[in-house]
Structure 1
Amino acid sequence: MPHQKFQSDAIKPRYAKGRISALGVNSVYPRTPWVAAWWSTAFPGFGHMFLGKYLHGFALIIWELVVNSQARLNIAIALSFLGRFEEAKAQINQEWFLLYVAVYVYSIWDSYRCAVEIKKSHVLSEIEDAPIAPSDVSFFDVVILDKKNPWMGFVWSAFTPGLGQLYAGSTVVGTFVLVWWIFVCYKASAVRAWLYSFLGDFSRAAAIVDWQWFLFLPSMYVFAIYQAYTAVNENNILFDIEQTRYLRVRAANLGQRNTIENGTIQIIATFDHSPFVEMVIHDIEKLGVPPRDIVVLPLENLDSDTHIIDTIDRVDGRSNLDGAMMGGTIFMVLGAIYGFVWLWGPVIWGLIGLVVGFFLGLIIELVLNKKKPKVLSGRKSEVIIRATCKASLQDQLVKTLKSRRASGFVIMPQE
C-alpha cells in the first residue's frame, strides 16, 4: 500500500514517476539493465536514451560521431571484417582512438548502472504513490498524456527516424534524432546510394558511399525504430499508472452505497484505461447520479505472460522484440559491410541483414524464454464502474456507456 497519499499533483513528490512538458514526456520506468548496456555497446549514448537520460545520451552520441569519425574507426572495423587487416591498421588515427576507448567503456558501464538505479527509484515512487500531471499547456505546445499505438511509432520511425519520437510526444528527442539522421545521411551520401541501389546500379551505389559515415546508419536506424516503439509503450504505462491512482483516490474520498433501494438499479460496466473512463464518470453525473453512487476501481490484471507483440491495450513491459531488434542491428551492420564487396551493394544487403537478424534474434529469445509466450497481448478490461441510479435512467445510462466505448456492461437483477 502507498506510504503517503497525495491529493494534489501540486505537491512535489520525493520520487517522481514521470514528467510531461512542452519538451516531451519522460517516465521512471524499469528497463532491463543488460538491454541498456547492449544499446550502449552498439552506439554510445543509445543506452542512456533508452533509459530516458536524454541529455547524457545526446552528449555521448555527439562524442561518438566526432571521435569515431576522427579516429576513422568505422572504416577500420569494415576492413577488418573483410580480412584486410593491414589496411585497417593503416586507417586508424591512434591519437583519436586512444581518446575513444575510455568513454566507450564508460558508456556501457554507466547505462547498466543507471538502469539498476532507475529500477530502485521506480519502486520508491510506487510506494510514495506520487501524482502525475496528465497534461501541460504552454505557449509553445499542448501536451496531453493519452493512449497511442506503439506500432504507429514503429512505422513512422521506419519511414524516417525521428518521426516516431515526435508521434510519442518527445519533441526534443524527435527533433534531435531527425537532425542527426539527416546529417549522417548527407555525410555518407546515403540518399543517392539508396536511389542507385533501387535502380539496380549497385556498383555506382557502393562507389559513392563514404564508409566511415555509412556504417553509423544501421545502428541509428534500428535504434530509432525500437526507441519510438518503447517510448509509446512506456507512455501508455504512465497513463495507466496516473489514471489508476486517480481512481483509487476518488474511491477513497467517496462513500459507497452497497444496497439497492426500491426504484433503483445497479449497472456494472468495464473499460480499458483511456480518457473515456473519466469522461463517462462526468456524463453519468450529468444524468443526475450522485458522485458517491458511482464506484470506479481499477482491476489488477493477472496475466503476466511475455508477449512477442505489445499492443495499445496491454503492455507488459518486457517484449521479445528486445532480442529481435538486437539481432537486426548486428546483421544490418554486417550486411552493410559485406555489401561493399557483394553484388547487391551495402543498402540491399543491409536491409536483408535487418530482416534476417530480426527473425534470428526473435527465435533465440523464444528458445531462451522459459515461459511459452503469446504472439499478441490480449485485450483486457482494466477498469470497473458500478453506478446506482433510478430505474428511469437505465436507457440513458446504457446509451452513455456505449458512446464512451465500454467493453461490456450488465444490469444487476433485482432480488
Structure 2
Amino acid sequence: MPHRKFQSDNIKPRYAKGKISVLGINSVYPRTPWIAAWWSVAFPGFGHMYIGKYLHGFVLIIWELVVNSQSNLNMAIALSFLGRFEEAKAQLNQDWALLYVAVYAYCIWDSYRCTVEVNKSHILSEVEDAPISPSEVSYFDVVILDKRNPWVGMVWSILSPGLGQLYGGSTIVGTFVLAWWIFVCYKAAAVRAGLYSFLGDFSSAAAMVDWQWFLFLPSMYAFAIYHAYVSVNESNTLFDIEQIRYLRVRAANLAQLNTGENNTVKIVATFEHSPFVEMVIHDMEKLGVPSHHIVALPLENLESQTHILDSIHRVDGRSILDGAMMGATIFAVLGAVYGFVLYWGPIIWGLLGLVGGFILGLIIELAVSKKKVTVFASRKSEVLLEVSCTPSLLDQSIKILKKRRATGYTVKPQ
C-alpha cells in the first residue's frame, strides 16, 4: 500500500477515500457491481444507497413510492402471483405504469455503472494515499470515526429500520430510512395488522392491510438490515485505513531521529486498530517517554478463511451474507403475497419468508464457496507497538498498556 504522499489531512486530494461530516460518514468502499444492480431490481434507489450515492437513492426511492402507488403496480403483482390475472389487469393504471419502465431499467443500469466508477475511484485514492479527517465538530453534532459492531447495527435495524444507520453515524440516511418506514407502515396499516397477527386474529389482520403499500415493506425491511451491517463494516474499514496512514507517517518522521540510548528496556505490545492506539502513545509521552522511543506500526494480517459474520475485530470485505439477504428479500415478498390467502396472514408469512430465505441463501453461498468458512471473525493483532523506556518507568508503562486494552505485551530481555 502506498503511503506518505500527504503529510496533512488539510491537503485536499484529487480522489478522496471518505468523508466525515455532520451529515454522516461515507466512503469509496469497493463494492460488487452485480449486488448493487440486484438491490435496484428489488427496490429502485437501494442500489445507489448501497454504494453511497445517497442523494440519487433518496430521489429514486421517492419516485418508486409515488409512481408505484399511483399505478397500483404492487397490487397487480400480488394478484398475478395469486393467478388472478384479470383482476391484476383491472387494477393496473396504465398511464402511470408506462412511466415506470424506463426509470426502473435506468436504476439497474446506473447502479451497476456507478459501482464500477466508485471502485476505480477507490483504486486511485489508494495510489494517491488520500488523507482523511477522522472527526467533525459542529454546532449541531460531534461525528467521530470510531469502531462499531456491525451486528449491533443489524439488531437495531431489525427492531426498527433506520436505527442501525443512526448507530453507524449516518444521520441523514438514518433519518430518511426511519421516516419512510413509518410513513409506509402507516399507509399499509402494518402496525395494527402485526398486532392482530401476533394475537392470533389472522382474518382481521389480512382484511385491514393495504396490499399496495404493504408489499413495499419486505424489501425495505431486508435492505435496512443489510445496509446497516455493511455501512458499519465500511466505516470500520475506513477507520483502519486512516489510522494505518497516520502510524506510517508518524514512524517515517521518527525514523529521522536518533533512537539509540543506553540503560533502557524495550516493551513490545500488540493492539487492534482503535482510538486506544493513539491514546497509549499520548499516555507514554506524558509519562516521560520521548516520542522517538515509541514506535507503532500496522501489521499485515494473513487471512486464509472466509467468515460469515464480520465483527468489530475483523472485516474481510467478502461478506457471505449477500446471497443470504437476497434470499431473505425474495422469500419475504413471496411470503407476504401468499400470506394474504394463507391462514397465518401476510405478517407472519412475510417474517417466515424472511428467515427461511436468509437460511436458504446462506446455504447456497456456503455450497458454492471454495474456501473453508468460519461463522465468526476471529480477533487479530493489527498494530505492533515498541516502547523504549528507563527501568524506573517499566511498571507504569505496563499499567498504561493494560488500561488501553493491549491484546498482549512482552518485555524484551536486554
Smaller-chain TM-score bracket: over 0.9
Kept after mapping to 2: 8 A contact 1:81/1:337: yes
Specify the alignment match of 1:348 in structure 2.
348
What is the 5 A alignment of 1:248-263?
A: 248-255=248-255, 261-263=261-263
- Aligned equivalent of 1:375: 375
Q: Is the 8 A contact 1:40 1:47 kept in 2?
A: yes
Letter of the 1:178 counterpart: L
Is 1:216 matched with 2:202? no
Matched AA of 1:309: L
Q: What secondary structure is seen at the aligned counterpart in 2 of 1:326?
A: helix
Alpha-carbon distance change, 124 to 304 in structure 1, aligned in 2, over 3 angstroms: farther
Deviates more, 1:282-291 or 1:340-349: 282-291
State the distance in 2 between where 1:256 and 1:394 align: 25
Measure the CA separation in 1 of the matches of 2:202 and 2:3.
64
Q: Give the distance between the partners of 2:64 and 2:309, measured in 1 at CA.
A: 32
Q: Larger deviation: 366-375 or 326-335?
A: 366-375
Name the counterpart of 2:314.
Answer: 314
Match of 1:47 in 2: 47
Count of equivalent residues: 414
Question: What are the residue-to-residue correspondences of 1:253-292 with 2, within 5 Å?
Answer: 253-255=253-255, 261-292=261-292
Question: Structure 1 CA distance, aligned partners of 2:269 and 2:78?
Answer: 60
Matched, 1:394 2:394: yes
- For residues 86 and 256 of structure 1, the distance between their equivalents in structure 2, rounded to whole angstroms, comes to 80
Amino acid corresponding to residue 123 of structure 2 in structure 1: V
Q: 2:406 is paired with a residue of what secondary structure?
A: coil
Q: Is the 8 A contact 1:256 1:295 kept in 2?
A: no
Q: Which amino acid aligns with 1:330?
A: I
Distance 1:91 1:225 in 2: 32
Q: Distance in 2 between matches of 1:2 and 1:382?
A: 18
What is the one-letter code of the residue matched to 1:267? I
How far is 1:228 from its partner? 0.6
Deviation track 1:187-239 (CA, whole Å, cap 9, x = no partner) reads: 00101100100110000000000000000000000100110111111000000
Q: Give the letter aligned to residue 204 of structure 2.
A: R
Task: Using the TM superposition, give the Cα deviation of residue 304 of structure 1 relative to its aligned residue in structure 2, in angstroms.
Answer: 4.6
- Aligned residue runs from structure 1 range 5-404, under 5 A: 5-255=5-255, 261-404=261-404
CA distance in 1, matches of 2:261, 2:298: 26
Which amino acid is the alignment partner of residue 90 of structure 1? A
Q: Secondary structure at the match of 1:302?
A: coil
Is the Cα contact below 8 Å between 2:50 and 2:227 reproduced in 1? yes
Distance 1:4 1:409 in 2: 28
Q: Which ranges in structure 1 are unaligned for 5 or more consecutive residues?
A: none
Q: Displacement of 1:256 after TM fit?
A: 6.8
Q: Helix, strand or coil: the match of 1:392?
A: helix
Distance 1:274 1:331 in 2: 39
AA paired with 2:172?
Answer: V
Percent identical: 76
Residues 387-396 or 332-341, more deviating: 387-396
Q: Give the drift of 1:257.
A: 7.8
CA contact (8 A) 2:330 2:357 kept: yes
The separation in 2 between residues aligned to 1:184 and 1:314, in whole angstroms, is 36
8 A Cα contact 1:135 1:144, kept in partner: yes
- Please state whether the residue corresponding to 1:179 is helix, strand or coil: helix
Shift in CA distance, 367/297, structure 1 to aligned 2, threshold 3 Å = same
Q: SS where residue 295 of structure 2 aligns?
A: strand
User: Contact 1:222/1:329 (CA < 8 Å) preserved in 2?
Assistant: yes
In the alignment, the residues of structure 2 paired with residue 322 and residue 143 of structure 1 have an alpha-carbon distance, to the nearest angstrom, of 29
* Letter of the structure 2 residue corresponding to residue 316 of structure 1: D
Contact preservation (8 Å) 1:308, 1:376: yes
Structure 1 residues 258-305: Cα deviation after superposition (integer angstroms, max 9, x where no partner)? 987542111100000000000000011111111111111000111153
Mapped contact 2:4–2:249 kept (Cα < 8 A): no
Give the direction of change, closer, same or farther, for the CA distance of 1:257–1:407 in structure 2 (3 Å limit): farther
Work out whether residues 161 and 225 of structure 1, in 8 Å CA contact, stay in contact via their aligned partners in 2.
yes
Gaps of 5+ in 2: none
Write the letter of the residue equivalent to 1:322.
D
CA deviation string 1:16-70 (max 9, x = no partner): 0000000000001001111111100000000000000000000000000000111
How far is the alpha carbon of 1:4 from its aligned partner?
6.3
CA distance in 2, matches of 1:15, 1:257: 32
Contact 1:75/1:91 (CA < 8 Å) preserved in 2? yes
Structure 1's 4 and 240: CA in aligned 2 closer, same or farther, altered over 3 A? closer
TM-score w.r.t. length of structure 2: 0.98
Q: Give, in angstroms, the shift of residue 389 of structure 1.
A: 1.0
The answer to whether the 8 A contact 1:256-1:292 is kept is no
Q: Distance in 2 between matches of 1:308 and 1:339?
A: 30
Secondary structure in 2 aligned to 1:157? helix
Matched-pair contact (CA < 8 Å) for 2:313–2:379: yes
Q: Distance in 2 between matches of 1:18 and 1:304?
A: 28
The residue matched to 2:131 in structure 1 has which SS?
Answer: coil
Question: Within 1, Cα distance between the matches of 2:381 and 2:304?
Answer: 15
Q: 1:266 to 1:397 in 2, by over 3 A?
A: same
In 1, Cα distance between the equivalents of 2:242 and 2:12? 15
SS in 1 for 2:387: strand
Quick check: 62-71 or 369-378, which moved more?
A: 369-378
TM-score, reference length from structure 1: 0.98
What is the CA-CA distance between 1:369 and the residue it aligns to?
1.3
